[in-house]
Homo-oligomer: A and B are copies of this chain.
């Protein structure tokens, strides 16, 4: 089955024509997330037309359009429920109508992290598993769940996609979600500079020389022996571990996939989380396997076919 896929990110959107587990053609469209989604969709339609022409693929042979959106999405109602400083016009758009009128195809939309998990289950590291959680460690922390082969969505479409917003430090710092002490507020790309700013003795650390600190700088300085960097890195690992236990206890998965920018350092991360789950998660049936996600930026695009073919219950 062929499908069109759009993965909406903060700085760009990727448009792809996919066939089952393969990406036939794709093109990155520069995007400013602050802009309107409606303008971006117009450019996506042009991009699909060009891609189809270049690759001699008839768009009308596609089964539909799948969109991954960075915010809360009601897949059943084909609409964006809540945005987070990105594409603020999205909740007001009639996306199904746009798909029908512009491309002549049915459209489904899903939260981008959920769509990526669907891709990993269909074509990546979770193939063959029905009960999977995925953590994405990057600027934010994504945490999504698939239970018995279905994405968990819940009443208001926000079950099973806020794993990064489980409080792991009840006295912790404010989160952009409005919460307090969420894993994301304590150990994500955006919160790392705040953690460093408040760290005693930070001004004497090698980290102080960088205009902005990300996980790349953190791991590099920790490797170079910087003590503050080592302590902050270890604290991040502990927080990711606690968040992983919370998600395992909440969702009862067979495997945990970990993705995101930090996974360039997978060898420093996966074994630590695996050992922590082995020791601290209550799983009398056996051990949850921890694996790196495989598909990277392609994961959400490869979620298109399973999203479009999913059977919806009443």
Contact = CB atoms under 8 A, between A and B. Distances in A.
Interface of A: 72, 81-82, 130-131, 147-148, 152-160, 162-163, 165-171, 177-181, 238-239, 241-243, 245-247, 249-254, 279-285
A157 B239 CA distance: 26
A243 B53 CA distance: 53
A279 B153 CA distance: 23
Nearest to A279: B178
Contacts of A148: 154-155
B159 A147 contact: yes
B166 A250 contact: yes
Determine how many copies of this chain the complex contains: 2
A280 to B, nearest CB: 5
Contacts of A181: 168, 242
A169 B169 contact: yes
B156 A285 contact: yes
B147 A154 contact: yes
Contacts of A162: 249-250, 282
Given A155-B147, A254-B155, A282 B168 contact: no
